[in-house]
A and B are shown apart, each in its own frame.
Chain A
Amino acid sequence: MARHEEKVVIRRAVRALDERLGSSPLLKKALRYVFPDHWSFLFGEIALYAFVVLVATGIYLTLFFEPSTALTTYHGPYAPLHGFEMSKAYSSSLDISFTVPAGLLIRQTHHWAALVFVVAIVVHLMRVFFTGAFRKPRDLNYAIGVTLLGLAILEGFAGYSLVDDLLSGMGLGIAYSVALSIPLLGANFAFFVWGGEFPGADSFEPRLFIAHVLIIPVLIATLIAAHLAIIMRQKHSQFPGPGRTERNVVGTPLWPGYALRSIGLLLAVAAVLFLMGGLIQVNPIWQWGPYEPWQGTNGAQPDWYMGWLIGALRLMPNFEPHVEGWTLAPNPFFGGVLFPAIVFGTLYLWPAVERRLTGDHARHDLLERPRDNPWRTAVGVAFFTWVFTIFAAGASDRVFVNLGIPYTGQVWVFRFAVLVLPVLAFFITRRVCRELHSSELHPLRDWVGTAVGRTSTGGFEEIRSGRGD
């Protein structure tokens, strides 16, 4: 029988491993490892798989990309750029897009994967925040997660800047100005990074390249490994429910159910990214042209995950404190250094702040639904509203101008909104959470109220709309 032969093969494989590694006890444990079930637990996994796609496509791209600002004259297939002097970095990126077969597919997939990677991390962060998953014992792992978000943004920006098209160069110019604006040591720091004054020494592009393809990815991979190892040690948190306690994990074991689902998710993420890479154009570098420091284009924008910083740079009034002629804090400091420092500082410190404010130092393995903790949820929504309003200010200008609302007026509306919307969001959210909590309504479920159903023993029972998940 085939069934019998299968069993023999499996037994042989397990024995072979055992003889060398003594792996059976570990394997047994791993196969029975339990994953609690909830769709919202999958965002981190989506980020992980986007990273897998990033590494795979990125390795392919390194085989063609030339990280050099040495000048060359373009003679490739894209006619409007014929005869242009440009860096080898830009011309090799054009070649990836035009002459390497399947090169554009891989390049675009890589770019989409980067955008989706950060989307997934941000959504995952919000899930963790609003369910209280960052509480002890997971506060350490939460800090690793926040660090990963920062590294992902940095990594994405490095990739966007490597290409040396007009947008890359304008973005790097802004980054250089932000580096310069760090009080006291800014100029030294910027010179260390760029190897001199902007646009930088010849060594700058190779430095950026090695940061993008080695240093930051290795850091990200290492931290992801630590992130996962800590999860396995602590086991997953879970929502409260029947049979679920602080002391156990209820869910699907790794084998076979969860392994298959997770592989399915990996394939689905890869599918979405490759479909987008093939069908939706992303960063058409040939349409922007090469960068020269004296050239600029309207509509220059960074990738979305830098948009919050552009918004902050734009909204900041033209305040530049100086004493005796020395500039203490150049203007980009406020939007480009202080603002992200506040955002990341808040994220890092939140678990400790919450412990201090609530006096709750206990270990928590059961999650809270957002409504169960109206105060935290309201603070969180206010915080994300604040960041989002600033983010919107960096991008919505174009939309609003097309609607006939002048840009200068918008800036003042946004400056006002940045102060007012978070406060509004706080009170509205707190109210909504309290209402939901007291009435046990589920905003996403179809029906509201109670119904009567039959029980298995033939009696009647009341079914309420809140199902406690």
Chain B
Amino acid sequence: MRKPAPALALLALLSATAAVASFAQAQSTAPSGDAARGRALFVDGCSSCHGFDARGRPGQAPSVVGAGAAAADFYLSTGRMPLDDPNEVPLRAKPAYSRGDIADLVAYVGSLGGPAVPPVDPAAGDLNAGFRAFTSHCAGCHQTLARGGIVPGGVAPPLQDDVTSRQVAEAVRVGLYVMPRFSERQIDQGTLDSIARWVQATRHPDDRGGWAIGHIGPITEGMVAWLLAGVALLLVARLIGERTR
């Protein structure tokens, strides 16, 4: 074989990025914010729907009193809030606020009561416990490899890109938009750590088969069969088939 080098280099590169990514993941910690400044930001950017008293407006937006820091941190750090129109589906976007602003807002909402940002440590989790729990609780919407999926009336997002373990934990405990929530009684701390570990692992799954064509499964496989193999064989057929006319 003359060309083993690119394959090996690719493998090395993949494992290196995997290592770096999992290291970076473990580093994220929450800065503590200034609740008073957060209150000002809230009045400015959130009160048109959630109300000046943060108790919500009927039919528009829920009260954030008692919503807790976990929900606030999740919605703001994933860019799902603020929404232009309260009837829009909150989708993942670039955060509208800086990290510092988010910390302040979270501190303010947290000061109104409710669950704090849940602890999570993927390093303490167990990979196959994580896969097992993810399949039981999460795969129905997010797919076993966390590539996301469809819910009538919503979308379950893929959990790669820049989803942090903290956001995973917050989503599990709070249950945002139409996602159900899971308390300690359904998913204990160890299982939560394991789920976070599995979600991390899904960024770089074992793709020993080669090019993974998006991890979407048979749909893209069918496209490859038609468009790649089909076109290649069509070329060969054109090449050898037409000679006399």
Direct contact of A and B (CB under 8 A): yes
A22 at the interface (CB under 8 A from B): no
Question: Chain B residues with Cβ under 8 A from A79's Cβ?
Answer: 127-128
B141 touches A123 (CB 8 A): no
Question: What 0/1 readout, one digit per residue, does chain A (152-185) give for beta carbons within 8 Å of chain B?
Answer: 0000000000000011000000000000000000
B141 touches A39 (CB 8 A): no
CA–CA, A265 and B198, complex, Å: 45
CA–CA, A282 and B218, complex, Å: 8
The size of the chain A interface, using a CB distance under 8 A, is 74
Question: What 0/1 readout, one digit per residue, does chain B (217-233) give for beta carbons within 8 Å of chain A?
Answer: 11101111110111011
B152 touches A408 (CB 8 A): yes
Among the listed B132, B221, B233, B240, which residue makes an inter-chain contact with A283, where contact means beta carbons less than 8 Å apart?
B221
| Total contacts A-B at CB 8 Å | 192
The size of the chain B interface, using a CB distance under 8 A, is 62
CA–CA, A406 and B150, complex, Å: 9
A288 at the interface (CB under 8 A from B): yes
CA–CA, A37 and B242, complex, Å: 6
Known contacts A115-B222, A398-B150, A401-B150; is-contact A39 B238 (Cβ 8 Å): yes
A273 touches B229 (CB 8 A): yes
Known contacts A38-B242, A82-B128, A279-B210; is-contact A307 B225 (Cβ 8 Å): no
**Which residue of chain A lies nearest to B241 when distances are taken between CB atoms in the complex?**
A39
A349 at the interface (CB under 8 A from B): no
Which listed segment binds A: B42-50, B110-118, B201-209?
B201-209
Chain A: interface secondary structure?
helix
A149 at the interface (CB under 8 A from B): no
Taking CB atoms and an 8 Å cut-off, the chain B residues in 113-172 that contact chain A are 127-128, 130-132, 135-136, 139-145, 147-153, 155-156
CA–CA, A258 and B221, complex, Å: 33
Question: Chain B residues with Cβ under 8 A from A43's Cβ?
Answer: 237
Question: What 0/1 readout, one digit per residue, does chain A (272-307) give for beta carbons within 8 Å of chain B?
Answer: 110010111111101111000001111111111101
Chain B: interface secondary structure?
helix
A37 touches B243 (CB 8 A): yes
A298 touches B149 (CB 8 A): yes
A101 at the interface (CB under 8 A from B): no
A453 at the interface (CB under 8 A from B): no
CA–CA, A115 and B225, complex, Å: 6
Among the listed A281, A288, A295, A395, which residue makes an inter-chain contact with B212, where contact means beta carbons less than 8 Å apart?
A281
B185 at the interface (CB under 8 A from A): no
Interface centre among A111, A166, A297, A408 (most CB of B within 10 A): A297
Question: Chain B residues with Cβ under 8 A from A116's Cβ?
Answer: 225, 229-230, 233
B216 touches A398 (CB 8 A): yes
A268 at the interface (CB under 8 A from B): yes
B15 to chain A, nearest CB (A): 15
B155 to chain A, nearest CB (A): 6
A425 at the interface (CB under 8 A from B): no
CA–CA, A166 and B136, complex, Å: 12
Taking CB atoms and an 8 Å cut-off, the chain B residues in 87-102 that contact chain A are 91
Question: Chain A residues with Cβ under 8 A from B209's Cβ?
Answer: 97, 104, 108, 280-282, 284
B222 touches A268 (CB 8 A): no
CA–CA, A313 and B55, complex, Å: 45
Chain B interface residues (CB < 8 Å from chain A) = 91, 127-128, 130-132, 135-136, 139-145, 147-153, 155-156, 198, 201, 205-213, 215-219, 221-226, 228-230, 232-234, 236-245
- Apart from A104-B208, A299-B217: 11 A-B pairs, beta carbons within 8 A: A39-B239, A83-B128, A116-B230, A268-B233, A276-B224, A281-B212, A284-B212, A297-B144, A298-B149, A298-B156, A304-B218
Chain A interface residues (CB < 8 Å from chain B) = 37-43, 46, 78-84, 97-98, 104, 108, 111-112, 115-116, 119-120, 123, 166-167, 241, 250-252, 261, 264-265, 268-269, 272-273, 276, 278-284, 286-289, 295-305, 307, 395, 397-398, 401-402, 404, 406-408, 467, 469
